[in-house]
Amino acid sequence: MTYRWAIPFLAVPLLGAAEPAASSDPVILAMKQELGRTMKELRLPDAAPPYYASYWVLDAAEHTIETSLGTVVSDTLNAGRFARVELRVGSPEYDNSNSDIAAELGGMSFSESDLLSPQRVPRDEDPLSLRRALWLVTDLSYKQAVEKLERKRADKQTEIAARSEVPSFSDDRAAVYVAESAPLPALTAKNAASAAAVRVSAIFRTVPEVQRGDVRVRETTVQRRFVSSDGGLVVEPSHLGVMEIACSGQAGDGMPLRRFSFLPAKKDGTFDENAAKAEASRVARELAALVHAPVAEDYVGPVLFEGRAAAQIAFELLGASLSGTPPPEGSEGFESPLARRLGKRVLPKDFSVVDDPTLAVFDGVPLLGTYHVDDEGIVAGKTTLVENGLLRTFLMSRTPREGVSRSNGHGRSGLVGWARGAPSNLILSAKQGLSKQALHARLLAAVREEGESYGLIVTELDPSTSPSSGAVIPPAQLAYKVGLDGTETLVRGAELATMNVRALRGILAAGRAQAVYGVVSETRGGLDIGTSVVAPALLFENVEVHGPTAPNKRPPVVPRPEIPPKR
């Protein structure tokens, strides 16, 4: 079961009086009592005690309904309680964190993900049972932390640092934030969402080009509790409802094709069935058009990313590049291509980028990256990352980097591994945005300047969960050749070559309207967190696109059986 952080609701911060109110919670009571014992008594001979510890306890329930062509495939409800322990030994200047160096205990090797990961704990409101579970996880975490710190220090003795050392842990103030508790949902197989999903997936029965037509509804309720040795106390509920709509088929030459859309639930947790049916009809029509569309050709020249594709390309190029967390020691981990560009120009001068975890809705669309407190107990806040094209700061956790010493509330881990700076609701904007008509005219002008006979417009890419800073760009699901007379022709199989983050400086123009793309991002430990990206249409001067080269499997020999509309 995977959990995805969602949109907080009923969340009103209570400062001052929050701690006494939360102390009546038996789960918080057990967490605080065991944390106190940890900080007071936990110590091995000839080893330092922990200087910092924190506990997350998470109650989660996830209801998933899967339907296909108007029938129910599965209907499951999973619920559980999980705990995560973060324990630091050494000192804030140098500790056991942010390391991929494995530690060995009892003949077994442990990485950070083995212990900084969800551990199942009792769901009963029994403080002693929870304390016992936390005690066992804490004991193992401490022994592993001591071993890991020793190995880090030993490796350090064989190195000469090329750059100035930065501390391991920032001196930030942990949050005291308590929101009204959210009960776990009592969901059943025969609820309104299940019936709606069946009716929406039945839309695909009438489109012969659709081989598979699926609708999945996922409803997740999460209650997070956090305590830390530096005074942090957080109780934050969240809820997410999403309807995913997908269809797939094959062209005559066997090329696999698919279309995808999703709708967030309304504030009351229900879905707009009419809107969902309209989305299902739209993607089915687009799939049918792709089945009969010509194949994309090799191309190098101006490309306009419009609509969802603009937000997707912004996510691919900036989502990981704006993280300020250094790579883990002992690894060949990702180093942001913008790591040494602080204060330098990374976008045209009229572009800005902000990240705002506190924003719940953009232009009427719910955002997936909303939270009030990050995964290190730091209050979230709107952060300006790029201003007038200049890189001002990074997305920061409590792990400092050269030039940025404090967290800005963007430490995200889910419940696995050390938190790393990551986007929540990333918003790219341009002061001089053009209308759609003017942007298309600018595209054709660029095409003529390059001496090409046509340009390309991409309106949607394949869904992606892990941005690669341009090393891997998802294939285009919807791409159009635009002739010099403005005629647009849908093509299939367009593969985008790698793109360097520096390509952002060469953006020729941007649109006026902004589109929203929601994504469930993979964290380093494998647990998922929600992210939304907002961006205007983006016209790039030079993008390399390849036509398909891989062989395809033959389509079904016999046409699909005729499926009558469901009444």
Contacts of 492 (CB under 8 A, 6+ apart): 251, 255, 257, 290, 293, 294, 295, 296, 479
Q: What is the pLDDT of residue 527?
A: 47
Residue 25 sits in a domain of what CATH number? 3.30.2290.10
Total domain count, the chain: 2
118, 264: one domain? yes
98 lies in some domain: yes
564 lies in some domain: no
Q: Which among 291, 319, 346 is the end of a domain?
A: 291
567 lies in some domain: no
480, 432: one domain? yes
555 lies in some domain: no
Q: What is the pLDDT of residue 485?
A: 96
304, 287: one domain? no
Q: Which ranges of the chain have pLDDT less than 70?
A: 1-23, 101-117, 159-163, 181-191, 330-333, 415, 521-528, 567
167, 99: one domain? yes
Q: What is the pLDDT of residue 98?
A: 85
220, 88: one domain? yes
From the number of C-beta atoms within 10 Å of its C-beta (0-12, 13-18, 19+), residue 344 rates as exposed
554 lies in some domain: no
pTM: 0.90
**Are 302 and 540 spatial neighbours (Cβ–Cβ below 8 Å)?**
yes
59, 85: one domain? yes
Helices 273-291 and 192-201: crossing angle, nearest 10°? 30
Contacts of 535 (CB under 8 A, 6+ apart): 310, 311, 313, 314, 427, 428, 514, 515, 517
Closest CA to 97 of 106, 108, 105, 88: 88
Q: What is the pLDDT of residue 328?
A: 84
Which residue segment(s) compose the domain that 418 sits in? 299-546
260, 347: one domain? no
**pLDDT tens profile 185-200:** 444 434 678 899 999 9
Longest CA–CA separation in the chain, Å: 80
Q: Residue 130, SS3?
A: helix
284, 350: one domain? no
210 lies in some domain: yes
503 lies in some domain: yes
Q: Which among 267, 291, 315 is the end of a domain?
A: 291
523, 409: one domain? yes
The secondary structure of 132-169 as a DSSP string is HHHHHHHHHHHHHHHHHHHHHHHHHTT---SS----SS
Q: What is the pLDDT of residue 3?
A: 31
189, 271: one domain? yes
142 lies in some domain: yes
194, 316: one domain? no
231, 282: one domain? yes
